[in-house]
C-alpha cells in the first residue's frame, strides 16, 4: 500500500499581505500533494498563519487596531486567497487557535519537566525586526543581516532551551540521513553552522515587553518566543499527542520552506522534537527566492508582486505553470512579466495548445469527433516510438516530482509534447486522408495522438488542474473517473475507441506583447496576425467609456521596467498612470502634452505602482503614437 503523505508550508506572518513568494511555496505544496494523490497516497496538506509576537503588535498599531482584530483580518486574506489559486489545502492552522495553544503549553511543560528549559539572566544583541538575539558571528559588520539595522543591547532574565545538549545528536542525525535536508547545499549550510558550538535558545519574552503571545505554563510573567510557538503548529494541527491524524501522518512529515528560515527548521525544530520525545520529521525541502527583475522583492522598493493580479491578467494555470517551470527547486529565480509571457506563448500556446487543437480538429474532420479504433497490425508500425517515449516520460516525471524536481518533470512532459508535434509533421495525416486506401493508417495515427494527449492531460494535472480537466472533458473522459491516477498513465491504450470528443478549442490564447500593456487576445496560435475586428456596440455601450482630456504634469521612468513610464496627469484632478510608452517617448517631451485618457478604467498595479487610467495610443508593432488633440482643451473635458 502507498504510504501516506504529509506536507506543510511555513505558516505566514500576518504583518503583510500575501505576495508572489508566499504563493509560490503554497502552490508547490499543492502541486506535490496533487501528485501524491495521483500516486494513490492519502495526503494531508497543512498551511496557515503565524500570529503572535512583536512584529504583529507593531503592524496592528500602525493600522490603529488591536492585535486580535488585525490577525483575524490578515489571516482571512491568506485563507481566502488560496482557493482562488486552486490551492486545495487540508487544514488551515492559526497559532491563535485554542488547540494549538494547548499543545504549545503541553510541550513546553514536558521539556521544562525534563530539565531542558532553565531560567537565567542574559545580555545580548537583540534585533527587534527578527525578534531574536544575535551572536557576534551572525552579524554582518555589526548589523542584522536581514534588517541591516544595529541590534540593541538588552539585558534581561529569561527562559532558555538547552539546544547545545543536542548538537552532536543533530549532526549525527543529518549525517545518517543524507536527504533529511535537501537539496544538498542547504544540508551543507546547516552542517557548517553546526561546526561552531550551538548556543542555547532564549524561548521567552517578559510580558513587561510583549503581551501578545502564549503564556509560559510554568511562569505567567512570560510569553513564549514566537518561533518556539510557531514551529509546533506542524504537530498541533495533526492533533498531537494522540490524534488519529498525528499517528498517521507525523511519521512521514515533510516541510517546505524557503532558505530564509532554514535555521529554525534545520536546527531548532529537530532539537525541539527530540527534547519533546517526538520523532523528527522526514524531509526539510528548501527552495530559493523569487527576485523581481534581479532585485529583492520588498515593500520599500515597491516591487511586491500580487499573485491575484497575475492570475487575472494571464490566467491561473499559466501563472502556476510559469512558477514551477522557471524555478529550479533550491535556487533563486528572477521573475519578470516578459519571461512569463514568453513561456505562455511558446510552451503553452504554441507547443501544448497547438498540439491539442490540431489533433481535435483532425479528429473532428476525419472521424466526426469519435475516437477511431487503431488496428493493432497497422498501429505497431505507426507509433514511431510514441508508446515507449510516453512510458519513459511518465517514469522520468514520477522520479522528478517525488524529489521536488518540478521543472525537470515539466521539461520531460514538454519533450514528449514536442515529439507528438513532430509525429504530426512526419505522419502528415492530411496526406493520409487524401486516399481511402490509407484509412486504417489515418485511424491509427489519430488514435495515437489522442492517446498521447490523454497521458499529457494527466501529467499536467498537479500543476494545471483546470487545463487538465478541460483537456479530459474534450477527450470524452468522464471527470468523475480517476483519470489522474499515475497508474493509468503508465499504460498505453486507455482511451476507448468510439468515445465522443468535443470540438477543438484554443487552450491558451496568445498574449499580445505589442500594445501599451500585456493583453490576452483570442487569436489562435496558428493564425496570421490581422487587425482585430470587434463586435458592434451601441452608442449607450460606447458612452460607458469615460474618455477625458488630461495634461501630463510629470513623467519619469519606472525602475527595472524597460517599457514603462510613470505619469502624473491632470484631468481636473491629479492621477498617476503607468503607460508602456518608454522607448517611444522621453519623459521630458511628455510634460505639458495633452493626451486622452480612459478615466473610468479599473485601477491596476504595474511594477507595484497603482495605475489609475489608461492613455489612448495608436500601436503599430513597436511604434506607439499617443492620441492628442489638435488644439488645447480644458483638462478633464469629456470626449464624446
Ligand atoms: N512565520 C514564519 C514562518 C514560521 S513557520 C513555523 C515566516 N513567515 S513569512 O511570512 O516571512 O514567510 C516566509 C516564507 O514565505 C518563506 O520561507 C517562503 O516560503 C515564502 N517567501 C517569502 N518571500 C519569498 C520570496 N521572495 N521567494 C520565495 N519564497 C518566499 O517566516
pLDDT score of 562 more than 60? yes
Show Cβ contacts of residue 571 under 8 Å, excluding neighbours closer than 6 positions: 548, 549, 550, 551, 597, 599, 613, 635, 636
Number of domains composing the chain? 3
- Ligand 1 centroid–CA 301 distance in Å is 18
pLDDT score of 18 more than 70? yes
pLDDT at residue 520 in the model: 38
pLDDT score of 528 more than 90? no
Is 22 a known active-site residue? Answer: yes
Structural domain includes residue 219: yes
What is the rounded distance in angstroms from the CA atom of residue 270 to the CA atom of residue 451? 47
pLDDT score of 50 more than 80? yes
- Ligand 1 centroid–CA 289 distance in Å is 9
What is the rounded distance in angstroms from the CA atom of residue 259 to the CA atom of residue 244? 32
pLDDT at residue 373 in the model: 96
pLDDT score of 197 more than 80? yes
What is the DSSP code string of 488-521? HHHSS--SPTTPBPPPP--SSPPEE-SSSS-EE-
pLDDT score of 309 more than 70? yes
**Shared-domain flag, residues 319 and 366:** no
Residue where one domain finishes, among candidates 489, 521, 547? 489
Nine-digit cell string for 545 = 467609456
**Shared-domain flag, residues 455 and 429:** yes
Residue 590's CATH number: 2.40.50.140
Within 6 A (CB) of ligand 1 lie 10-13, 21-22, 24-25, 50, 230-231, 233, 257-258, 260-261, 289-290, 297
Structural domain includes residue 591: yes
Choosing from 130, 173, 248, 259, the catalytic residue is 130
**Shared-domain flag, residues 390 and 311:** no
**Shared-domain flag, residues 479 and 579:** no
pLDDT at residue 157 in the model: 95
pLDDT at residue 336 in the model: 92
Mean pLDDT of 409-418: 98
pLDDT at residue 122 in the model: 87
What is the rounded distance in angstroms from the CA atom of residue 326 to the CA atom of residue 318? 12
Residue where one domain finishes, among candidates 301, 326, 351? 326
**Shared-domain flag, residues 385 and 455:** yes
Choosing from 299, 434, 435, 514, the catalytic residue is 299
State the Cα torsion 211-214-218-222 to the nearest 10°: -20
Residue where one domain finishes, among candidates 326, 361, 389? 326
Domain that holds residue 462: 337-489
**Shared-domain flag, residues 434 and 570:** no
**Shared-domain flag, residues 11 and 146:** yes
Is 127 a known active-site residue? Answer: yes
What is the rounded distance in angstroms from the CA atom of residue 249 to the CA atom of residue 243? 10
pLDDT score of 595 more than 70? yes
Mean pLDDT of 4-20: 95
At which residue does the C-alpha cell 468515445 appear? 499
Is 147 a known active-site residue? Answer: yes
Pocket test residue of 18, 22, 103 for ligand 1, highest count of atoms within 8 A of CB:
22
Residue 367's CATH number: 1.10.730.10
- Per residue in 451-482, pLDDT tens? 999 999 999 999 999 999 999 999 999 867 66
Structural domain includes residue 461: yes
Mean pLDDT of 542-554: 90
Is 296 a known active-site residue? Answer: yes
Residue nearest to atom 15 of ligand 1 (CA): 22
Show Cβ contacts of residue 167 under 8 Å, excluding neighbours closer than 6 positions: 194, 197, 198
Amino acid at each position: 500500500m502507498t504510504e501516506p503523505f504529509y506536507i506543510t508550508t511555513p505558516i505566514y506572518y500576518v504583518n503583510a499581505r500575501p505576495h508572489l513568494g508566499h504563493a509560490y511555496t503554497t502552490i508547490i505544496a499543492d502541486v506535490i500533494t496533487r501528485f501524491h494523490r495521483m500516486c494513490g497516497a492519502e495526503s494531508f496538506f497543512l498551511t496557515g498563519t503565524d500570529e503572535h509576537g512583536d512584529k504583529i503588535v507593531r503592524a496592528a498599531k500602525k493600522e490603529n487596531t488591536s492585535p486580535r482584530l488585525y490577525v483575524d483580518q490578515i489571516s482571512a486574506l491568506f485563507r481566502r486567497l488560496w482557493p482562488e489559486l486552486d490551492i486545495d489545502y487540508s487544514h488551515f492552522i492559526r497559532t491563535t487557535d485554542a488547540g494549538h495553544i494547548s499543545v504549545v503549553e503541553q510541550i513546553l511543560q514536558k521539556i521544562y519537566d525534563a530539565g531542558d528549559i532553565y531560567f537565567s539572566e542574559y545580555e545580548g544583541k537583540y534585533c527587534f525586526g527578527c525578534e531574536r538575539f544575535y551572536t557576534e558571528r551572525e552579524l554582518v559588520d555589526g548589523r542584522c543581516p536581514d534588517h541591516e539595522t544595529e541590534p540593541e543591547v538588552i539585558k534581561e532574565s529569561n527562559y532558555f532551551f538547552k539546544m547545545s545538549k543536542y548538537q552532536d545528536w543533530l549532526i549525527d542525525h543529518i549525517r545518517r540521513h543524507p536527504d533529511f535536508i535537501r537539496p544538498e547545499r542547504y544540508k551543507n549550510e546547516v552542517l557548517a553552522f553546526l561546526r561552531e558550538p550551538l548556543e542555547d535558545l532564549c524561548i521567552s519574552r517578559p510580558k513587561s515587553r510583549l503581551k501578545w503571545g502564549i503564556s509560559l505554563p510554568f511562569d505567567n510573567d512570560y510569553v513564549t518566543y514566537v518561533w518556539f510557538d510557531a514551529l509546533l503548529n506542524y504537530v498541533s494541527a495533526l492533533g498531537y499527542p494522540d490524534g488519529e491524524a498525528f499517528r498517521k501522518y507525523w511519521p512521514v512529515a515533510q516541510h517546505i520552506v524557503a532558505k530564509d528560515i532554514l535555521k529554525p527548521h534545520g536546527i531548532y525544530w529537530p532539537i525541539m522534537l527530540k527534547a519533546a520525545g517526538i520523532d523528527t520529521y522526514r524531509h526539510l525541502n528548501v527552495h530559493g527566492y523569487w527576485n523581481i527583475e534581479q532585485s529583492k522583492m520588498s515593500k520599500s522598493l515597491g516591487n511586491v508582486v500580487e499573485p491575484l493580479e497575475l492570475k487575472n491578467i494571464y490566467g491561473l494555470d499559466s501563472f502556476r505553470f510559469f512558477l514551477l517551470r522557471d524555478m529550479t527547486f533550491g535556487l533563486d529565480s528572477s521573475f519578470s512579466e516578459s519571461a512569463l509571457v514568453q513561456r505562455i506563448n511558446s510552451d503553452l500556446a504554441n507547443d501544448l495548445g497547438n498540439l491539442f487543437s490540431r489533433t481535435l480538429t483532425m479528429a473532428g474532420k476525419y472521424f466526426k469527433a469519435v475516437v477511431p479504433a487503431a488496428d493493432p497490425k497497422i498501429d505497431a508500425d505507426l507509433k514511431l516510438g510514441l508508446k515507449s517515449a510516453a512510458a519513459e516520460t511518465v517514469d522520468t516525471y514520477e522520479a522528478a516530482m517525488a524529489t521536488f524536481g518540478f521543472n525537470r518533470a515539466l521539461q520531460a512532459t514538454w519533450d514528449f509534447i514536442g515529439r507528438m508535434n513532430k509525429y504530426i509533421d512526419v505522419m502528415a495525416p492530411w496526406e493520409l486522408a487524401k486516399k481511402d486506401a490509407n484509412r486504417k493508417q489515418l485511424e491509427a495515427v489519430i488514435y495515437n495522438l489522442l492517446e498521447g494527449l490523454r497521458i499529457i492531460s494527466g501529467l499536467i494535472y498537479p500543476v494545471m488542474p483546470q487545463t487538465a480537466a478541460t483537456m479530459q472533458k474534450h477527450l470524452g473522459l468522464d471527470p468523475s473517473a480517476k483519470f489522474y491516477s499515475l497508474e493509468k498513465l503508465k499504460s498505453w491504450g486507455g482511451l476507448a475507441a468510439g468515445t465522443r470528443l468535443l470540438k477543438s478549442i484554443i487552450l491558451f490564447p496568445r498574449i499580445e506583447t505589442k500594445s501599451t500593456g500585456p493583453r490576452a487576445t483570442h487569436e489562435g496560435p496558428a493564425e496570421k496576425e490581422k487587425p482585430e475586428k470587434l463586435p458592434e456596440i451601441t452608442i449607450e455601450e460606447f458612452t460607458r467609456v469615460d474618455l477625458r482630456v488630461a495634461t501630463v504634469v510629470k513623467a519619469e521612468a519606472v525602475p527595472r521596467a524597460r517599457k514603462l513610464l510613470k505619469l502624473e496627469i491632470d484631468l481636473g484632478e491629479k492621477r498617476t498612470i503607468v503607460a508602456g510608452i518608454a522607448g517611444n517617448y522621453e519623459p521630458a517631451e511628455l510634460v505639458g502634452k495633452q493626451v486622452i485618457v480612459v478615466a473610468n478604467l479599473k485601477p491596476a498595479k504595474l511594477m507595484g505602482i497603482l495605475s489609475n487610467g489608461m492613455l489612448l495610443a495608436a500601436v503599430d508593432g513597436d511604434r506607439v503614437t499617443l492620441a492628442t488633440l489638435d488644439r488645447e482643451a480644458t483638462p478633464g473635458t469629456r470626449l464624446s
